[in-house]
Amino acid sequence: IIALGGSSTNDGGGGIACALGAKFYNQKDEEFLPVGGTLSEIKSIDVTALDERIKGVEFSVMCDVDTVLTGNLGASAVYGPQKGATPEMVRDMDTWLGRFAELTKAVLPEADANIPGTGAAGGLGFAFLAYLNATLQSGIDLVIKETGLEEHIKNADIVVTGEGRLDGQSYMGKAPVGVAKLAKKYGKTVIAFSGCVTEDAAICNEHGIDAFFPILPTPCTLQEAMDCDNAYKNLKNTACQVFRLLKTANK
């Protein structure tokens, strides 16, 4: 079982493919290690030397997003800006990832860049799918199953969830909405807390989260916000006020 997330990369998994034995060649037929900025230099891929230990092994990849590899909802468009990419860089990287996918499919016909989750972690989902013949599955679904969360939700009055930043991507298979969808199966009210929220986070209200709240009471640095003592205090105080309101409304 491989869990994806927070890769800080956007190379489609080229580095992982190299580590597994794939060989990448440029226009001069020189072997090289591709990274996000050099995917455009790939002329051909050779997979004949893939590690023999891969054969016969079943790989399950946990993804918390449904992002595909390329396009408006692809890895570059969704995660590139988070990593500092300009609109021009996003367009370039998307083109390069598309080319990488085409070259991969030429030697591994089962590779499919349109499967949900292939864009996870900057395209690592695609690499595992193509080079390991892995299956991609919802990370939150597996966590829900292993923790027995459904039984807890059945007996709850209110379900509380959250993440570091709630935004327009949160509904694309991430944990808070996964929890919310399960809670709605039993008609439960769902409240979410997060370190911060973005303007497009309102879409989460359409996917099971009844209301969400950022926990920061005043402007502060990222370091201050992530300090464990501060985070605990801020979450506690915000939750206290939210539940005081709920208690009052229910009188």
Model confidence pLDDT, tens digit, residues 220-248: 999 999 999 999 999 999 999 999 999 99
% of the chain residues with pLDDT over 90: 74
**Is the per-residue pLDDT at 170 higher than 80?**
no
Tokens coding 86: 């300009």
pLDDT above 70 as % of the chain:
99
Cα(125)–Cα(69) distance, rounded to whole angstroms?
8
Model confidence at 173: pLDDT above 70:
no
Stretch 156-176: mean pLDDT: 85
Contacts of residue 238, Cβ cutoff 8 Å, sequence gap at least 6? 193, 213, 214, 215, 217
Which distant-in-sequence residues (6+ apart) come within 8 Å of 12 by Cβ? 39, 69, 75, 97, 100, 101, 122, 123, 124, 126, 127
- Using the structure block, give the residue that is written with the tokens 């892995």: 134
**Residue 142, pLDDT score:** 82
**Counts of helices then strands in the chain (DSSP H, E):** 9, 8
Residues 10-19, mean pLDDT to the nearest whole number: 94
